Amino acid sequence: MKGMIRRKSILSFLIVLCYQSAVINAQVPERPNVIIIITDDQGYGDLGYTGNPHVKTPNIDNFAKESVRFTNFYVSPVCAPTRASLMTGRYSLRTGIRDTYNGGAIMAASEVTIAEMLKQADYKTGIFGKWHLGDNYPSRPMDQGFDESLIHLSGGMGQVGDFTTYFKGDRSYFDPVLWHNGTQEAYEGYCSDIFADKAIEFIEENHQRPFFCYLSFNAPHTPLQVPDSYYQRYKAIDPSSGFDGDSRPFVEMNEQDKEDARKVYAMVSNIDDHIGKLMLKLDELNISDNTLVVFMTDNGPQQVRYIAGMRGRKGSVYRGGVRVPFYLRYPSKYKGNRDIETTTAHIDLLPTLSEICNVKPPANRNIDGKNLVPLLNAKKVDWENRPLFFYWTRRYPELYHNMAIQKGPFKLVGQTDYNAAISEFELFNIEEDPYEEHNMVHQKIDQAVSLKVELDEWYDQLISAPNILHPPRIQIGHENENPIFLNRNDAGGERGIWAQEEIFGKWRVSIAEGTYRITFRFVEPIPKGGIMYLETGPRIHKAGNSLENSEILEMKNIHLPAMHCDLIPFYAVDDKKIFPFWVKMERMDVSNKS
């Protein structure tokens, strides 16, 4: 009898224990899958949902209707800064990102990305498309938390940094050589099709565990290349028509502007089809309710076209350059089909995902963004005193030129000199003047002065960030990337370095001691009789060239000690100094682990 009572007691204890465990587990929120879809140079007005009568985006429009729409969402004026802020929750200057090329689009390896943050909770992570935060170790996606990485290099396919597509010219978006987990691989088809299909494959393979998919389309960035079947949908339209009676400002479009708009709209429609396929796949896998999906763009449009009346385009700190659509859908958690008008920004996504996914945010650093969860829960927040800082100029920020601060309804814009009087700035009330047409600086001089004080504080703080004062170095000779290709996008030197032959360029590097074979590729064949120079700090190697009209030169058995330096190569011939298009460095005494 006592044994029976003991067994019953044990059974009762186990039942209570299982019940308590079930209650505890029920209280632990299920972590959602996360998908971020971002497009490149698609402006606020390049959607049917935002009032464009020409572009056809039924899938994105439907997604917007199902989502929480942040109607005053801001990014940086250009792509690499936006992507750095999106990935880290920090202003891009803190991360080392200060430009889109000129060696300024390399993010410091010490930064913690959304992918790295989510991996704390065993998320499977993948990126498909554009990265633009560093093409070499230790700044590649695979070094920054992504398990699966299929990307093009630099800021865009067909650009100088993406040397595997550059020489394809007007076919650079078709049948490209891409970089899969650090290795060059050839693909067939149109780039957006490839990135979307591979992202959907990743979702299929990982849908039974939490995943983070970063689908980062390089379209509709230039070059404006698109399958003809999509172009045919728009070839007969007039993108400047259909706005009669619209009170919003609309800029004049010349014939080239109109043709560019047709191609952009065709590229956007291609993206829209893929977003439709992705949403259908989530339904098929029965994971739509527990998947948080974001759709956004990275900055305003590059070309002249409809932008909902706003002033400025890509590169501008006016609203047309920095205000973008941002739609968030998470059906099991947040009611959709509603607008949130509170000012929000790209820096807010990381802290928001930290809260929603129940993972710790990065520690020991300034996180500039705010957690959007209170807004998603329809709670009132007092963010009126929250400032947003904007800038864009080549190389480094130029004090008071294309620089702005926005706080509450007021926005101070500097398009002037470093020592300009406050009267030379512009002050807008963007709630009353959303098109930034009426400069109020003379009527509200005290407000302008107050904002300028904050602008100065933010500028001084960000321009003094450690990763700006001590920019990231590309690591050469490391086992995680050997050989390594140094491309033009990451080359510093003269401003505006691109595909020029006679230009001074260099790479900021950290070299591991070893013996190297170094290959130099030039834009055009070089004449014989010159001398190839390689400067690495105080060490200079040179070699004559007897090859006639060669595009490739090689140096073998170059022993280099461990050092931090600028790597400066050039070919000297006939009073010219020709900078290589790319440099390949292979350390012969180490294998590649990537």
- Give the pTM: 0.94
The predicted structure's pLDDT at residue 360: 97
- Strand, helix or coil for residue 462: helix
Mean pLDDT throughout 110-121?
Answer: 98
Structure tokens at 499: 């595909």
pLDDT band, residue 25 (cuts 50/70/90)? very low
pLDDT tens string 508-540: 999 999 999 999 999 999 999 999 999 999 999
More confident residue, 8 or 365: 365
Between CA 242 and CA 245, with CA 243 as vertex, the angle to 5 degrees is 120
The predicted structure's pLDDT at residue 384: 80
pLDDT band, residue 247 (cuts 50/70/90)? confident
The predicted structure's pLDDT at residue 29: 52
pLDDT tens string 333-389: 999 999 999 999 999 999 999 999 999 999 999 999 999 999 999 998 888 889 999
Give the separation between CA 281 and CA 275, rounded to whole angstroms.
10
Which CATH class for the 30-376 domain?
A: alpha beta
Task: Please state the domain extents for the chain.
Answer: 30-376, 387-469, 474-587
Structure tokens at 47: 């959607």
Give the separation between CA 470 and CA 106, rounded to whole angstroms.
12
Give the separation between CA 352 and CA 130, rounded to whole angstroms.
23
User: What CATH fold (topology level) applies to the domain 387-469?
Assistant: Arylsulfatase, C-terminal domain (3.30.1120)
* Average pLDDT score over the chain: 94
Q: Decide if pLDDT at 552 tops 60.
A: yes
Element (H, E) at 525: strand 514-526
CB proximity list for 245: less than 8 A, separation 6 or greater: none
Pairing state of beta strands 68-70 and 323-324?
unpaired
Tell which CATH classification among 3.30.70, 2.60.120, 1.10.3470, 1.20.120 matches the domain 474-587: 2.60.120
Element (H, E) at 373: helix 373-376
pLDDT tens string 267-289: 999 999 999 999 999 999 999 99
Q: Is-contact 422 336, C-beta < 8 A?
A: no
Q: Which of 516, 499, 510 is nearest to 558 (CA)?
A: 516
400 burial via Cβ count (<10 Å: 0-12, 13-18, 19+)? buried
pLDDT band, residue 251 (cuts 50/70/90)? confident
Mean pLDDT throughout 449-459?
Answer: 98
| Phi/psi at 270 (5° precision) | -60, -45
Give the separation between CA 145 and CA 36, rounded to whole angstroms.
15
pLDDT tens string 161-184: 999 999 999 999 999 999 999 999
Q: Is-contact 555 540, C-beta < 8 A?
A: no
pLDDT band, residue 228 (cuts 50/70/90)? very high
119 burial via Cβ count (<10 Å: 0-12, 13-18, 19+)? middle
